[in-house]
A and B are shown apart, each in its own frame.
Chain A
């Protein structure tokens, strides 16, 4: 390739990347500026691309109704509860699949577990409602969503943990047995520390899914328990949508996962590459 051609290709490539960046970042930009606009400005026929008057007070007024803050707390309880449960069950199941493939039902069962993740959830929305309605804690509770989200998060956790455990040499555990550790102590002393980066990434993925989920939350909870995702659409004034408040609230709701991600980024990268790169 000649030098001129090379430069042209490089230029085209960069131009394409720039365009792509613009498209993906635009909604984010729109969200931020909308969050700072007044309600009137958001409803202009000709939209403004920069707030004429900055309304930072939007971020306060979303909490005019105290229960809105509680929604964030509810979301946090559900996401964290579900993550812990997914991690516990996924780790145990993943370990069994990795170390005792025959006794644990083999590759087929492991794959079946994963395939649950591929099932379209909308198809079971109604059955789920009736199912949880029949439980002692009812539909409108933290527990119902914590359990329901296991349908999505546990297969993911199981599968990923299985991969991480497989990549941890069995000989390390065996060496620990010979050192005198019982299998349970060996697991905590040797195996668990090695898959910890992986576990943290799994936890992140589960937590973010549960934090963001809307469909089932909207269906099951809403009175005693409200997640932030079902609170956002409630920012209306009569028939008018208060875009500025919705955007402000969603920006606030974005903070916890972003902070989590920054704190755990080191583990995330290591954990997610654990399965890909060996050694």
Chain B
């Protein structure tokens, strides 16, 4: 069993970067850490790899304490954000490097490298140097170098962030299907939430100091425990409306601060929010839960349970898979996702159907999700 266990890990320079972090990644689990740049994701990987010494805490793999071992004794493989391919060596020699380090016989090395290269579809590049291949091919070479090592733990640092969208899609599939990666404990770091949601068996969202929430893709996207988590996941970002709760005729509603927008609190949330009547609260509304209804269009029951408000179009952009519409309603700007082919004019009057049963409510002071105990 080669599960990765991290206990009470601390690391800081002038200020704490990682503060008492605990994490267990099971054997065969693909764990993705997502967070903004500069938050310490790479530092965590470097600590596990042994490239940095922790200030406190233990790192164990399969029950073996690695904390005081140098990187070359850890059986941990890592890809670097910069790929860190050896520029003076060919692709073949780069991939063969971990095998040569172990002084394996030549025939074994050739056999292993060629089979890994075939798996990654770079077998025709083996005699080239890193300077002569594309970014996607470099990434595959770096991946090949970690695969041949057959480590107990894989550490992947932003492996596909710097590649074109198309190659990203392709390599994402590769990470899904590579059984070598899915057999052992893998720690994958990215700032791209879509990558995290797509790949992670479980996902950890990293904020200042450590992990704010750990869970499956659906858990962290649909039930973020913290406003930070909600804001970091999603494109365009979640609408954040600072508001005040109040009870009108026994029905709970919230009013946006400094604006006229008032919306009822949906049934399922009423109970949790009841005790907070007349308190300040931060409401999170995902753009996909804002449906734009054209003037004249009938509100059908497909928007069931939605609160409908009048709005005017402020900005509209048709992007790849979606259109993004920013509309103003009662002094609040809300972003909505639309079908990609829709056309809206600036200043056009529309109505927004807000699925208030999918709203998220966060404590105004702490940012904690008040729906999650």
Q: Do A and B touch (CB < 8 Å)?
A: yes
Interface on A for B, CB 8 Å cutoff? 169, 171-172, 174-183, 185, 189-190, 193-194
The winner among B50, B82, B87 for most chain A CB atoms within 10 A is B87
Contacts of B102 in A (CB 8 A): 180
Q: Which single residue of chain B is at the shortest CB-CB distance from A185?
A: B101
A178 with B88: CB separation less than 8 A: no
B86-109 residues at the A interface, CB under 8 angstroms = 86-88, 97-98, 101-102
Interface on B for A, CB 8 Å cutoff? 49-51, 70-72, 74, 76-78, 80, 82, 84-88, 97-98, 101-102, 145, 149
Q: Which single residue of chain A is at the shortest CB-CB distance from B96?
A: A179
B76 with A178: CB separation less than 8 A: yes
Known: A178-B49, A179-B101, A193-B88. A169 touches B82 (CB 8 A): yes
Contacts of B78 in A (CB 8 A): 175, 178
A179 with B149: CB separation less than 8 A: yes
Contacts of B145 in A (CB 8 A): 175, 179
Contacts of B97 in A (CB 8 A): 176, 179, 181, 189
A169 with B84: CB separation less than 8 A: yes
Contacts of B149 in A (CB 8 A): 178-180
Known: A179-B145, A179-B149, A180-B72. A174 touches B98 (CB 8 A): no
Contacts of A179 in B (CB 8 A): 72, 97-98, 101, 145, 149
Known: A179-B145, A180-B101. A171 touches B72 (CB 8 A): no
Interface majority SS (helix, strand, loop, mixed), chain A: helix
CA distance A174 to B102 in the complex (A): 16
Known: A169-B84, A178-B78, A180-B101. 4 other contacts (CB 8 A): A169-B82, A172-B84, A175-B145, A179-B98
Contacts of B72 in A (CB 8 A): 177-182
Can you list the 7 inter-chain pairs with the closest CB atoms, starting with the nearest? A180-B101, A177-B71, A175-B84, A179-B98, A171-B84, A179-B97, A193-B88
Contacts of A180 in B (CB 8 A): 72, 98, 101-102, 149
CA distance A169 to B72 in the complex (A): 18
Q: Which single residue of chain B is at the shortest CB-CB distance from A181?
A: B101
CA distance A181 to B70 in the complex (A): 10
Contacts of A193 in B (CB 8 A): 88
Q: Which single residue of chain B is at the shortest CB-CB distance from A176?
A: B97
CA distance A174 to B145 in the complex (A): 13
Q: Which single residue of chain A is at the shortest CB-CB distance from B102?
A: A180
Contacts of B50 in A (CB 8 A): 177
CA distance A183 to B71 in the complex (A): 10
A178 with B87: CB separation less than 8 A: no
Q: Which single residue of chain A is at the shortest CB-CB distance from B81?
A: A171
Q: Which single residue of chain A is at the shortest CB-CB distance from B77?
A: A178
Q: What is the distance, in angstroms, from A151's C-beta to the closest C-beta of chain B? A: 33
Contacts of A176 in B (CB 8 A): 86, 97, 101
Q: What is the distance, in angstroms, from B95's C-beta to the closest C-beta of chain A? A: 10
Q: Which single residue of chain A is at the shortest CB-CB distance from B155?
A: A178
Q: What is the distance, in angstroms, from A186's C-beta to the closest C-beta of chain B? A: 8
A177 with B70: CB separation less than 8 A: yes
Contacts of B51 in A (CB 8 A): 174, 177-178
CA distance A183 to B72 in the complex (A): 9
